[in-house]
Amino acid sequence: MNILLKIILLFGLLTMSVYAENTAAPVKAPTAKPSDSLNKDSACTKCHDENESKPILAIAQTAHGNKADSRTPSCQSCHGESEKHMSNKTVAPDVIFGLKKGAFSPNEAKDQNTACLTCHDKDQKRTHWQGGAHQVADVACTSCHVTHTAHDKVRDKQTQPEVCFTCHKDQRAQVKKFSHHPIGEGKVACADCHNPHGSAGPKMLVKNTVTETCYTCHAEKRGPLLWEHQPVTEDCTNCHTPHGSNITPLLKSRAPFLCQECHDGPHASRSPVAESAEGIQGGATSASANTTGRACMNCHSMVHGSNDPAGALLHR
């Protein structure tokens, strides 16, 4: 018999036997052993159930509700044993999260964070939490994260900025400027460049330097090039602003002023007309070129560096 046919036949027999078993035997118990947390939760959920005004049980639809995983927290892993609260509801549970007062006052941010970090301090992305700007400023995990919800806004590219903007008003204004990274458009998120949990780099950037952070998406700007432009390899923010600017593309100021911040009029002592007649094919009318907005870039178009033998960031 043809081998393929054999396989098909065998498969058919197998499915038949499965059906037979299904109709004969009653529903089998799930093979995955439920974690302790399921049983423990009932101590709290007998009162905090679906009748709550807040969607407490929505936590079941999150990674914290994965009952097949033994690491999954119970109510008490986060809120504490709360023994007194269970017998006397006028006594607060051990840990109350959030910022606003509900039935009880929330615990201090650092105590709330300790409850989360008992499990999350070993995560690779949070090794720099201690000493990070948010930890130092006593920002709580729950200032950004909402736990009892299937949709945690801060982990969704589209809705993340609005969470950050509740505190960072300057950046809200910046990303609305004429030239900006498509952050409001939901294509680039704050967390593409920043690790809000802290990092080894400056300003909690995801990489160790600004330039390395920019290269994660603008890899074409990475060298090595024959003619490098020192400020480019040093720090992109020598010329660009990361969040937004009214000078396109994301520039801190307009050429020639942008260039003159560092170049003390390199052509001022010599005639740019003479330079151009010698150096540029077709002899650009540099006198007028210098008065236009692009000025220096009319000739030095390869401002990020080039492999052109002409050098001087020129391009032919």
**Nearest to ligand HEC of 20, 123 (CB atom):** 123
* Cβ at position 108, least distance to ligand HEC in Å: 13
* Token duo for residue 21: 């078993």
Shortest approach of ligand HEC to residue 34 CB, angstroms?
14
Q: What is the rounded radius of gyration, in angstroms, for the C-alpha atoms of the chain?
A: 30
Backbone angles phi, psi at 101, to 5 degrees: -75, 125
Q: What track of x and - describes contact with ligand HEC for positions 273 through 312 (by CB under 6 A)?
A: --xx--xx---x-x--xx----xxxxxxx-xx------xx
Specify whether the CB–CB gap between 77 and 37 falls below 8 A. Answer: yes
Nearer to ligand HEC, 17 or 246 (CB): 246
Is the CB of 9 or the CB of 137 nearer to ligand HEC?
137
Site for ligand HEC contains 203 (CB under 6 A): yes
- Spatial distance between the Cα atoms of 238 and 146, rounded to a whole number of angstroms: 37
254 lines the binding site for ligand HEC (CB under 6 A): no
Q: Distance between CA 111 and CA 173 in Å, rounded?
A: 33
- Smallest distance, Å, CB 10 to ligand HEC? 37
We find the least distance from the C-beta atom of residue 33 to ligand HEC, in angstroms, to be: 16
Q: Which 111-150 residues touch ligand HEC, going by CB under 6 A?
A: 113, 115-120, 123, 125, 129, 133-134, 137, 139, 141-148
> Which strand (E) or helix (H) includes residue 9?
helix 3-24
Separation CA 189–CA 191 (nearest Å): 5
Strand, helix or coil at 152? coil
Residue among 64, 107, 109, 244 that touches ligand HEC (CB under 6 A):
64
Span near ligand HEC by CB under 6 A; candidates 5-13, 14-22, 28-36, 224-232: 224-232
User: In whole angstroms, how close is the CB of 63 to ligand HEC at the nearest point?
Assistant: 4
For residue 34, the 8-state DSSP code is P
Residue 164, both tokens:
């950050």
Given the rule CB under 6 A, which of 1-9, 14-22, 23-31, 184-192 is the region that contacts ligand HEC? 184-192
- Site residues for ligand HEC, 68-97, by CB under 6 A, read 69, 71-73, 75-79, 82, 85-86, 89, 93, 96-97
CB nearer to ligand HEC: give 5 or 219: 219
Identity of residue 218: H
Q: Among 4-12, 18-26, 27-35, 182-190, which window interacts with ligand HEC (CB under 6 A)?
A: 182-190
Residue 16 or 73: the one with the smaller Cβ distance to ligand HEC is 73
| 224 preceded by a cis bond (ω within 30 of 0) | yes
Q: How far is the CB of 99 from ligand HEC (least distance, A)?
A: 8
| Dist. CA 142–CA 147, nearest whole Å | 8
Pick the closer one to ligand HEC by CB: 11 or 104: 104
Can you tell me which residue has the tokens 């969470």? 163
Per CB under 6 A, the list member of 179, 209, 247, 254 interacting with ligand HEC is 179
Name the helix (H) or strand (E) containing 161: helix 160-165
- E strands of 214-272, at which residues? 244-245
Whole-number Å distance between alpha carbons of 293 and 256: 7
Burial label, 306 (beta-carbon count in 10 A; 0-12, 13-18, 19+)? buried
Per CB under 6 A, which of residues 11..40 are in contact with ligand HEC? none
Does 256 contact ligand HEC by CB under 6 A?
Answer: yes
Q: How far apart are CA 186 and CA 274, in angstroms?
A: 49
